[in-house]
Amino acid sequence: MNAAARLVHQRTLTRYLVWTHLLNRKQIILFCLVFAVLFSALGMIYVTHTTRVLHAMYQHGVAEQTQLQIQQGQLLLERSTWMVQDKIQQAAEQQLGMVIPDHQSVVIVRE
């Protein structure tokens, strides 16, 4: 058991010595900083791309909303036009006793 513990300790110690021999403390810090900068740059690229995609979707939604508002205005105008014509027809029928003639009663006059 003691030999196994020494072997495990020796491997751990060997790994530590290899890492410290290959890289000193400043190099490890520099490596970590370079990794952090690269990771930050990739994050910035991702955020920029996502922002552009969302902005394009927003602009598309605004354009669609504008088109729908224009269409709603046109439909409201059409509805009010039909309501005015319906009111005129009702007033002509009720107050003046006018009726829509049938096809046999219609006479076409040409000059």
Chain centre distance of CA 92: 53
Establish how many alpha carbons lie within 13 A of residue 28's alpha carbon, considering only the half-sphere containing its beta carbon: 8
pLDDT in tens, 5-51: 555 556 665 666 555 666 778 888 999 999 999 999 999 999 999 99
Q: What is the mean pLDDT of the chain?
A: 85
- Note whether 58 and 66 are within 8 A (CB): no
Query: Is the overall model pTM greater than 0.75, yes or no?
Result: no
Phi, psi dihedral angles at 24 (to 5 degrees): -85, 180
CA separation for the pair 55, 45 (Å, rounded): 15
pLDDT in tens, 42-78: 999 999 999 999 999 999 999 999 999 999 999 999 9
- Note whether 98 and 92 are within 8 A (CB): yes
pLDDT at 87 over 90: no
